[in-house]
Amino acid sequence: MRGDEALVPFLWWFALRNTLLTSERRGRITQAATAGFLTEVGELPVRLAELVARGRRRSGNETRLMKLLAVLVEDYDRRHSRPPLEWTPAEKIGYLLETSGRAPADLIPIFGQRSQVSEALNGKRPVSAEQARKLGAWFGVAPGLFI
């Protein structure tokens, strides 16, 4: 890709860094690996900065392209950001909360009470079939992920 040029959406850099930092926190990669990868990516010929810098001088087509690419990246992340299958239901719920930017309090309508949310997130309460169905619909994943 050294000779090629890539056009990426505005949020790409932030999504990339967030993914790397989340992986770092979970112990999947090291801080040194993150730094090295970001350095290498920073050297790639990416046209994002050019489009962003144009601001109000961007053409309508360029603005629509940036918006479309941002939606596509967000949709891809939402559909492909799944916790490993070997994790417990509690770990999966915690992961999906973190990656979706939601808070445990948002789960109260699903579990009924704050204490039940806490117990589910700590692995002390199993997820019922009905709760799994609601969690699946809420996170946009298969309910079986939580059983």
Domain hosting 54: range is 12-80
Domain assignment present for residue 46? The answer is yes
Say yes or no: 34 and 57 in one domain: yes
pTM to 2 decimal places: 0.49
Domain of residue 116, CATH code? 1.10.260.40
With respect to residue 137, please indicate whether it lies within any of the assigned structural domains: yes
The answer to whether 48 and 12 have CB atoms below 8 angstroms apart is yes
When pLDDT is cut at 50, 70 and 90, the band that residue 30 belongs to is confident
Are the C-beta atoms of residues 147 and 132 closer than 8 Å to each other?
yes
**Does a structural domain hold residue 32?**
yes
Q: Is residue 5 a part of any domain in this protein?
A: no
Verify that 64 and 113 share a domain, yes or no: no
Number of domains within the chain:
2
> Among 8-12, 46-50, 53-57, 84-88, which range has the highest average pLDDT?
84-88
- Classify residue 128: in a domain, yes or no: yes
Residues 98 and 39 in one domain: no
CA–CA distance, 84 with 81 (Å, rounded to integer): 10
Within-domain flag for 116: yes
Where does 7-80 show beta strands of DSSP type E?
none
Write down which residue in 46, 80, 114 finishes a domain: 80
Domain-terminating residue out of 34, 50, 80: 80
- If asked whether residues 76 and 94 sit together in one domain, one would say no
Q: How confident is the model at residue 1 (pLDDT cuts 50, 70, 90)?
A: very low
More confidently predicted of 6 and 115:
115
SS3 content of the chain, % helix, strand, coil (to 5): 70, 0, 30
Structural tokens at position 69: 């690419």
What's the whole-number mean pLDDT along residues 66-94?
74
| Cβ–Cβ < 8 Å for 121, 104 | yes
Please indicate, yes or no, if residue 3 is contained in any of the structural domains: no
Asked if residue 22 belongs to a domain, the reply is: yes
Residue 83 CA, chain-centre distance (Å), reads 11
